[in-house]
Amino acid sequence: MEKRDDNITAMCRPAVGEAGKTGDWRDMKPVIDQSKCIPAIKNRAACLLCWLYCPDGVVIPTIPVGIDLEYCKGCGICAEECPAKAITMVHEGAKNE
């Protein structure tokens, strides 16, 4: 039987959004709850699925994980893919940043 490699890696490096700055027109924005985020809890580069799946490459894979909101388009893919449910999409202007 063929041996499978279950490690998932990015095929290319994400880059800042090609549509330019999105902060002016975005309706929703992602907010990370660091108390649920795996890298923050483990204090090491783990998970990072939000970084892997973000189509605009604006997730910053640091500890704690960050998001460049100047270029994030608010699509919500990161929140959908986060296994720890650490990302919530909130309306722009909401106070819980």
In whole angstroms, the minimum distance from the beta carbon of 69 to ligand SF4 comes to 8
Backbone phi and psi for residue 8, each to the nearest 5 degrees, phi listed first: -105, 130
Cβ distance to ligand SF4 smaller for residue 4 or 85: 85
Can you give the binding site for ligand SF4, defined by CB under 6 A? Answer: 30, 32, 37-39, 47-50, 54, 56, 58-59, 65, 67, 72-78, 82, 84, 86-87
User: Which two tokens mark 45?
Assistant: 């580069």
Cβ distance to ligand SF4 smaller for residue 72 or 92: 72
In whole angstroms, the minimum distance from the beta carbon of 60 to ligand SF4 comes to 10
Which amino acid would we find at residue 15?
A: A
